[in-house]
Structure 1
Amino acid sequence: MARVEITARALSDLERLFEFKAERNPRKARKQLLSVRRALELLADHPLLGRDAEDGRRELILLRGRDGYIAKHRWLPAEEIVLILAVRHHREAGYSEE
């Protein structure tokens, strides 16, 4: 089983997405955050889950109702680590600070 690590940038993305949703519906924001975290944990058992992206990275699509998120990640097989690089809402044009 691989270890899932979340970069500071991805953690900042999750906080930003949570705060945006919490302004309108704090309860739903908490449920969505838990759902996203659970989905990211699937990568421990399935590190190549998701679609191919650039430079050996992958994108995991996380859907919950009308909201969806995309997590960019990289599998580091030598270290057995799945590194979560960034997370965005599926309607955002790109990842923050790209």
Structure 2
Amino acid sequence: MEVRWLKRALANLEAEAEYISRDSHAAAQRVVLAIERAVQLLASHPAMGRPGRIEGTRELVVMRTPYIIPYRVREDKVEVLRVFHTEVAAKSVRQNEK
């Protein structure tokens, strides 16, 4: 299956890398590589993520990182929707509960 990153997801990934690189360029590279490797596994295992909070989506938890990757499976491709730091995702959920 083809894995396709939406523009918003790529922008999220770039923003996270820039933020981390303020402290450590090497750490930023490690995080980006971990995310990219995890996402690439979706090509052969598109159902490996847990059911998403939004209907029709799934969420890939990137092991040993604080990142969640929401995605959806469409016919012959996987679309990566966003890249969320778990703290940001938790704040979003808390705000929606108010």
Q: Scaled by the length of structure 1, what TM-score is found?
A: 0.86
Aligned to 1:62: 62
Structure 1 residue matching 2:72: 3-state secondary structure: strand
Contact 1:88–1:94 under 8 Å retained in 2: no
Aligned to 2:79: 83
Aligned to 1:6: 5
* % identical aligned pairs: 33
Q: How many residues align?
A: 90
Structure with greater helix share of residues: 2
Q: Scaled by the length of structure 2, what TM-score is found?
A: 0.86
Aligned to 1:33: 32
RMSD: 1.4
Structure 1 unaligned residues grouped into runs of 5+: none
Aligned to 1:43: 42
How far has the Cα of 1:63 moved from its partner?
2.5
Aligned to 1:71: 69
How far has the Cα of 1:55 moved from its partner?
1.8
